[in-house]
Amino acid sequence: MANPEVRSKPTPKILVNQSNLVGTTVQQSTDENDCQNVLKRVLYLHEPIFTAAASGLASLQYEDSSVVETSVSTFTEYCPIIVQGLDWLGQLHPFIEIATKAFSVVITMNLTRINNNKKVIALQMQIQSTMMVLFELRRLKKLDQKLEGTMEKTMRKIANDIKEAGSVCDHYTKKNFVVKTLNSSKYETRLAAFGAKFAQHREELALALKFNCARVDIVIKN
């Protein structure tokens, strides 16, 4: 049972306004006034985020799982803003940079790992979307022989890509937390590459089937 005294209000769902980030990109500056002014602007524009970040841990005391899930989800959204604020603060007070930079590296890798977990599901959905195009064949009793030969070659490529993508997803899923985090950028690149492949496969299949259906319609009309 959580101690009521340590409870705080649930962390609010915060939507990060990316337009507010314009002009606050961290760059090296030797002017302390510039650093301080930009830091003030970041804190002002994202005050709800910094407030939520400061009290986010207390929300984990709740027994309500939905409150905890919201807090964790919000954490991944406002982390980049916190990292940005710490980067500017580090320029203003260089002695803290050893800790702020370490935090930035770890958080960035972890956020990439979290996104990769979602991308594994997204890749499987992309593959499914490619397969759904094949249902257009229900309209045809028989394909043009030349098109059928071309599509047969395409099917072999797709089958091979599905096996390779499945292997990568399986390999990623079985890795432990540390490996996923440390190799997050590598996995991100590989998953994105397969996503692009299946997007292209889907486009090519849709175009080929559309062309063949159009030819069949012309033959029927004639």
Beta strands in the chain, from DSSP E residues, in sequence order: none
Q: Tens of pLDDT along 85-98?
A: 888 888 888 898 89
d(CA 89, CA 37): 11
Instruction: List the domain boundaries for the chain.
Output: 4-92, 111-221
Q: Tell me, what's the pLDDT at 21?
A: 42
* Least confident among 47-56, 107-116, 209-218: 209-218
Q: How many Cβ atoms are within 10 Å of 41's Cβ, its own excluded?
A: 14
What is the rounded distance in angstroms from the CA atom of residue 177 to the CA atom of residue 180?
Answer: 5
Question: In whole angstroms, what is the distance from residue 75 CA to residue 222 CA?
Answer: 63
Give the tens place of pLDDT for each residue, 30-52: 466 777 788 888 877 887 777 77
48: which DSSP letter? H
Closest CA to 127 of 90, 183, 166: 166
The mean pLDDT of the chain is 76
- pTM of this prediction? 0.60
Taking a C-beta distance cutoff of 8 angstroms, is the pair 21, 83 a contact? Answer: no
pLDDT for 29 equals 47
